[in-house]
Amino acid sequence: MDVDAAIVLAAAATKRWETGCPMGPLDGLPIGVKDLQNTKGLLTTHGSVRTRGFVPDEDLLMVGRLRAAGAIVLAKTNVPEMGAGGNSRNPVWGATGNPFDANLIAGGSSGGSASALAANLLPLCTGSDTGGSLRMPAALCGVVGYRPSVDVIAHPTRPLGWSGISVLGPMARTVDDLTLMLDVCQGDDPDDPLSAPSVKGRFINLISADLKDLRVGFSEDFGGAPVDQSIRETFQDRLDNLRPHVKECRAADLNLGDMDRCFDILRAESFGAAFGKAVQEDPDSFGSHIKDNVALGRSMSLADRGWAHAEQTRILRKFNKLMNDFDLIVLPTSPVSPFRWTQSYAHEIDGQNMDIYYRWLALCYRGSLTGGPSITLPCGRDADGMPFGLQMLGAVRCDERLLAAAKAVETHFESVAETARPLADMENLAYSTVDLRSIVTHPPIWTAKTASKTQPLRTAV
């Protein structure tokens, strides 16, 4: 946290608002920045032993845009090591607990951001998403996470510039807050060849959507991914609540192709490009998830890579055809209720063993393959009393339409106590029975002298 600087900046923002001359729409708002994203002068560790003392000398482009709009970077938010996985714990900072039960996961890799929002520590936070890193933690913590179309927010640090499975995005507690932030973050950059020029204000002046006009598709399992029965039941309950209020609500066939193998290859390709050399030089400084992904990539051939990119293209085209019949498709975000943070990932779902640490994220990462927008909305609680997140998929490059529909759905669910956004009771929240910092083996290095000698690592997400 950078509390002293934030106090000074907040005082200056107050004076600007008093004189009617704010820097921008976020002037004076404190924000959290995911600890994979560079913040000038503020420790950025990636949750990694290798970079536990790295202090960047410049901001990530998205962070710079937020600062230019007046946002105050108050804190960095926790992540899994290098953003790998759906459980935000690492050997530098420890684990992020869920604000509804500190013994359970907050999700990942933007788990620190989601937890801070749910705990009312910050009003806005940044995130990024390869296989669900914006959507999964938002669902598990009862906030809003948005994965924009690949062209919306420039990602100039993506290791493979022409591969769009990784995007940057905003997190907030409501759709209105999220679109305010998104409008600041959006825009192109020549170092991201997939980003596109945009018009300022495109996400502020959304055309309202009416529920009664929406054609809604639904899927419990995104083409057969394992989902716990209790989650299916909660999803069907939300669907039954929504169905009478929309124009159309029918099943959508999301069997789009061999999505798991396709994602495996594209993810391994990205991790190999980002971490392959470093893992080879110093394997002991990386956890098993990173090394497993790099090893998976090394086992693949050029033919595998070619197949994966062709399969992703086929998946996109099937999805485009499907979306001619729907305005949005809804499905669960998480296949399980939050589990204990001491467990690295969900090893089994509905009787099916997970073959790799990120397989339990299939409801999210399968959607990443389309390149289109998706959002998670808080929607009451699941059978275990934890937040339930409803995921919504939109057509590629139709972000405004999806966000307008999300606002309409949010308004509807907020009108009913059982489906409104759940609120964490921070006053009565008990500490985790296992110290969240008990896994710290290499704490952060705070001294600037040491930090300045530490070289940054590339990021794959």
3-state secondary structure of 103: strand
212 is catalytic: no
CB 84 within 8 A of CB 369: no
DSSP state for residue 271 in the 8-state scheme: H
133 is catalytic: yes
Tokens at 437, concatenated: 């910092």
CB 33 within 8 A of CB 57: no
CA distances from 264 to 102, 196, 226, 374 (A): 31, 27, 17, 20
Burial tier of 398 (Cβ tally within 10 Å: 0-12, 13-18, 19+): middle
Q: Which of 113, 115, 128, 133 is flagged as catalytic?
A: 133
User: What is the layout of strands, in order, in the sheet containing 248-251?
Assistant: 72-77, 30-34, 124-129, 167-172, 144-147, 374-381, 387-393, 328-332, 215-218, 248-251
The torsion angle over the Cα atoms of residues 416, 422, 428 and 433, rounded to 10 degrees, is 140
Residue type, 215: R
Q: Which of 48, 109, 219, 270 is flagged as catalytic?
A: 109
CB 52 within 8 A of CB 64: no
- Residues marked active site are found at 34, 109, 133
